[in-house]
Amino acid sequence: MLEQLNTLRKEFEEASAKVSSASDLENLRIKFLAKNGSVTMLFEELKNVSKEDKPVVGKNLNELKNFCQSVFAELKEKYESAPDSSGRVLDLTLPGREVLTGKKHIIIKTMDEIKSIFKRMGFSVYDGPEAESDYNNFEALNFPADHPARDMQDTFFINQKFLLRTHTSPVQVRVMQNQQPPVRAIMPGKVFRNEDINARSYCLFHQVEGLAVDTDITFAELKGTLFAFAKEFYGSNIKYRFRSSFFPFTEPSAEMDITCYLCNGKGCRICKHSGWLEILGCGMVDPNVFKSVGYDEEKYTGYAFGMGIERIALLKYGIDDIRLLFENDTRFLRQF
């Protein structure tokens, strides 16, 4: 075994002489000094040496181990203190670099806040496909094929029967087709419209729509629900008003305004000096919608509402260009 120790020492000397980098040094350690390294494994074989030879072999083995460790330590000090290719010395005492973690996008952050409020009111959250049928997107929502209201929404058609949904209202249809009242649901998600891209509009955006159906739903409940949402989301000092409007799937229909929380209703550039901000559209579900999903329109009533997430985010955070929300510029996104 003494001959084996001498051979191993020569191998180590040759291998250590060839070390020229930190990676070479690590390979040297693994080969000779690691748990399964050549030198370490010889200690396992020491138990097989005869009692007469064991003292001499053990002494030489310890000397070999100490020699290898001292050479390794010298090489390690050399490569840890060596300057890098730029001439700088690696200072291991410096604190580590900050690891930047991802955060929620401002749109998702706004949507989550809205969902959280309505979930506390007892609404369930549903989603559906972004590629929808013409029937679910239009016809079941009281948009006949020749209805002029279809022109209100410039649509991306896939073919004659399918399209990219222009609102999340088709999810309302799917919920009602698969669930009997009572229904209290919100439907967040992406929608698509063939619009020119500018500071105020984009070809895709996000909506949260809501639906409540039961035997005794009233317009007063709709107003109370939306005002409770607005107070929690925008603050308790706001005032609100409803203006009559038109949507094919609700009758009567309305738009909800709140006092501008940026100027407290005094008038500013954001509210166009009116003191009011429009935040959503709403109304009582049209009986024709109930017919299309198999609900008894004589027995059930309901309300629906919808709001654009981008518009809410722009107003709440004082952003004047919707395109900033989609450009993935981290300098902008990190502000929120």
Domain at 205, CATH number: 3.30.930.10
**Which residues of the chain fall below pLDDT 70?**
1, 81-89, 148-153
Phi first, then psi, for residue 302 (nearest 5°) are -170, 165
Phi first, then psi, for residue 186 (nearest 5°) are -120, 150
* CA atoms of 293 and 186, how far apart (whole Å): 18
Which of 195, 136, 131 lies closest to 169 in space, CA to CA? 136
Final residue in a domain of this structure, among 80, 95, 121 = 80
Is residue 181 classed as helix, strand or coil in its secondary structure?
coil
pLDDT given at position 75: 85
pLDDT given at position 87: 55
- Do 54 and 111 lie in one domain? The reply is no
Is residue 191 classed as helix, strand or coil in its secondary structure?
strand
Give me the DSSP letters along 19-35.
--SHHHHHHHHHHHTST
Query: How many C-beta atoms lie closer than 10 Å to residue 232's C-beta?
Result: 16
pLDDT given at position 35: 82
- Do 192 and 278 lie in one domain? The reply is yes
- Do 186 and 295 lie in one domain? The reply is yes
**Chain Cα centroid distance, residue 268:** 33
Domain count, the chain: 2
Residue 310 forms part of a structural domain: yes
- Do 256 and 113 lie in one domain? The reply is yes
Residue 41 forms part of a structural domain: yes
